Structure 1
Amino acid sequence: MARVHAIHANGSLPRPILWQKLHKYLSLVKTELSPKVSNPSLPRDVPSPEALEQELVWMQDTLSQLGSPVVLCHNDLLCKNIIYDSTQDRVRFIDYEYTGYNYQAFDIGNHFNEFAGVKEVDYGLYPSKETQLQWLHSYLQAYKELTQGHPGDTRVSEEELETLYVQVNKFSLASHFLWACWGLIQDKYSTIDFNFLRYAKLRFKQYFKMKPVVTALQLPK
């Protein structure tokens, strides 16, 4: 992942696609799915469009202040999109449909969320803090080596590690929100045999469950 994130934008200043995509998805939910979303039988499972809009405003205001770098991101790095070639001992990513410049912490947080799976979602598989810190330490070492331009000191400080940990877990909320809205849209339009509405409900449920937990996390001073 560090190799993808280290690809330069040819001197331009890329803007994150996250907010544009979230506003687009939410607009579709509001205009195309409002009657379904507002169904009285789903008050706890699917928030109203008005509630979703409030959450998006809060997220954009909060997450954009965290200082996460904007880098080239895969944006959909679930396990099925990671291929390991044992003959060459190499890892490759596939399915670049959602690739674009985005927040570094979003791409990592989204990847951690995907540990839970898609068909049989189990958020008990979300990596522990210990596992995350080990992963993030290796990532930061690789990212530094790739972006410094020359071999140098790739030591990772405790502050750098804790900062990325907090950023990643806060941005994991945006991942839940995005794929939940995506699930609502797919439920109406997709012909794939998959329960997208159930998936959307699970992502919204996890978003609201984790919001107070990750909101309490503080960047090191």
Structure 2
Amino acid sequence: MAIKKNGFIPSSAPEELKKVLTAVASEWGDMIEDMEEFHVIPLKGAMTNEVFQINWPTKHGDLHQKVLVRVYGEGVEVFFDRDDEIRTFECMSKHGQGPRLLGRFADGRIEEFIHARTLSAADLRDPEISALVAAKLREFHNLHMPGPKDVLLWERLRTWLSQAKKLCSPEDAKEFGLDILGEEISMLEKELTQGSQDIGFCHNDLQYGNIMMDEETRAITLIDYEYASYNPVAYDLANHFCEMAANYHSETPHILDYSIYPDLEERQRFISAYLTSSD
């Protein structure tokens, strides 16, 4: 499905999307008769989906409503279960976390537009902002979500490895060492599951583009729960540090630059803020 960028929703857009958008507007008392009343602004920084801000004039005329339309990327089903993600999204809304789900269509959904700015890579290195993120992550980990509390990390790694082997040519599989990754995963699981572990509801994708901050209240909101699941909380902390080595505004967002990985002092400061944020 295509949405016209930097303009209006074209007449060729799926009827389902038009109906859902019109229904959302109607619930807010705004009657939309012409699709050109919906103005589309593409938003950058998302890897898995295409994301758009949709504006339209309110019944008062001098104001505008805003929603966020998320169009699902093709082939992402190999990475996570979309139905699980929707259930998580709805449950998070009930917990008062993140945006509200306003509507769904076959290829995506409509979300509440959060009036906050997305963090930048530089923001994550700011000690004050980093401490706010740490406290929010601790709150996230303490959420009680329905369903089993099983760790999904190792099963997910093996699933992704299996998919990679199916998709790669023999040459690529050899270059990326796919033949030995299975053994490495088993070794890591054995080494890292010894002793007691704190298991919590983890975000698993805490890069700067998934963190928003209200400039006035300094309130932090974590968004995008495609990969969220129960895991060791230490894994989520470590993954957040790895995300600091990524540049999601480059042509190679999947290649990490470990020369900018947070040093020991930064990591200790974040973990200290995490541990002291609650009890």
Q: In structure 2, what is the equivalent of residue 157 of structure 1?
A: none
Q: In structure 1, what is the equivalent of residue 206 of structure 2?
A: 77
Which of the residues 114, 124, 128 maps onto 2:243? 114
After TM superposition, list the pairs within 5 Å mapping 1:44-123 onto structure 2. 46-47=176-177, 49-65=178-194, 67-118=196-247, 119=250, 121-123=256-258
After TM superposition, list the pairs within 5 Å mapping 1:114-193 onto structure 2. 114-118=243-247, 119=250, 121-142=256-277, 145=278, 154=279
- The AA in structure 2 aligned to 1:141 is T
| Distance (whole Å) between structure 2 residues aligned to residue 69 and residue 122 of structure 1 | 29
> Structure 1: any 5+ residue segments left out of the alignment?
146-153, 155-221
Structure 1 position 4 matched with structure 2 position 140: yes
- The AA in structure 1 aligned to 2:196 is G
* Gap change, CA 1:58 and 1:15, over 3 Å in 2: same
| Distance (whole Å) between structure 2 residues aligned to residue 111 and residue 69 of structure 1 | 17
* Gap change, CA 1:64 and 1:34, over 3 Å in 2: farther
Q: Which has the larger radius of gyration?
A: 2
Structure 1 position 19 matched with structure 2 position 154: yes
Say which SS state the counterpart of residue 231 (structure 2) adopts.
strand
Tell me the TM-score normalized by structure 2.
0.46
| Distance (whole Å) between structure 2 residues aligned to residue 111 and residue 66 of structure 1 | 23
| Distance (whole Å) between structure 2 residues aligned to residue 94 and residue 9 of structure 1 | 16
Q: Check conservation: 2:173, 2:179, Cα contact below 8 A.
A: no
* Gap change, CA 1:134 and 1:93, over 3 Å in 2: same
Q: 1:33 offset after TM fit, Å?
A: 1.9
Cα deviations across residues 76-103 of structure 1 (Å, max 9, x unaligned)? Answer: 0001111111122111111111111111
| Distance (whole Å) between structure 1 residues aligned to residue 173 and residue 143 of structure 2 | 43
| Distance (whole Å) between structure 2 residues aligned to residue 38 and residue 81 of structure 1 | 31
- The number of residues matched between the two structures is 137
Q: 1:7 offset after TM fit, Å?
A: 1.0
Q: 1:31 offset after TM fit, Å?
A: 3.0
> Structure 2: any 5+ residue segments left out of the alignment?
1-136
- The AA in structure 2 aligned to 1:75 is N
Q: 1:67 offset after TM fit, Å?
A: 2.9
Tell me the TM-score normalized by structure 1.
0.57
Which one has the bigger strand percentage? 2
Using CA pairs below 8 Å that are at least 6 residues apart, which structure has the higher relative contact order? 1
Q: In structure 2, what is the equivalent of residue 199 of structure 1?
A: none
Q: In structure 2, what is the equivalent of residue 33 of structure 1?
A: 168
Identity of aligned residues (%): 31
| Distance (whole Å) between structure 2 residues aligned to residue 115 and residue 9 of structure 1 | 27
